[in-house]
Structure formats: structure tokens, C-alpha cells
Amino acid sequence: MITAQVLLNNIESVNRFVAKMSEKDYDIDLSSGKYLVNGKSMMGVLSLDLTKPVTVNAETDDETFLEEIDEYIAK
């Protein structure tokens, strides 16, 4: 499993992020506080508090995943 903090602070970044995640054949979840949503669901992602970084958990060991989401990783 790969875990990272991502910042999705506008609708365009949410749309691009969800589109990228939807291409993956493994589970991807986003969490914020006590809430956990499917990272491939636009409605789910938009239901989170996106004013601060959220945690992404990808059920993969493919290290290229981090490269693919580099533009969203909270720095």
C-alpha cells in the first residue's frame, strides 16, 4: 500500500485527479478526519474538506504511482 498527503484545492485539480485514479485497476481511497471515500468518485472526493491536505491510500506497491500524483502531493 502507498500512502501520501495530497492537496486538491480547486475543481480542476479534483477533476484531473479523479480521472487519473479512475484509470487504475486497484482500490484508491481518500480520507480526511473520520471520513473515507473512493478516490475514483467525484462526488465522494468533493464531499471531503478540501481546504487542507487529504490522505490517499492506494492498494498497490507500484512506486510509479507517486510519480503520477506528484503534482498533487502536499509539500
Range of the domain at 17: 2-72
Which grid coordinates belong to 30?
Answer: 481518500
Q: For the chain, how many structural domains are there in total? A: 1
Average pLDDT over the chain reads 96
CB-facing half-sphere around the CA of 66: CA atoms within 13 A: 9
Give the model's pLDDT for residue 75.
Answer: 84
Return the CATH number at 51: 3.30.1340.10
Give the model's pLDDT for residue 28.
Answer: 98
Residues in the chain where the model's pLDDT stays below 50: none
Give the model's pLDDT for residue 43.
Answer: 97
DSSP string, 12-42: HHHHHHHHHHHT-SS-EEEEETTEEEETT-H
Give the model's pLDDT for residue 63.
Answer: 86
Q: What pTM, to 2 d.p., does this model score?
A: 0.90
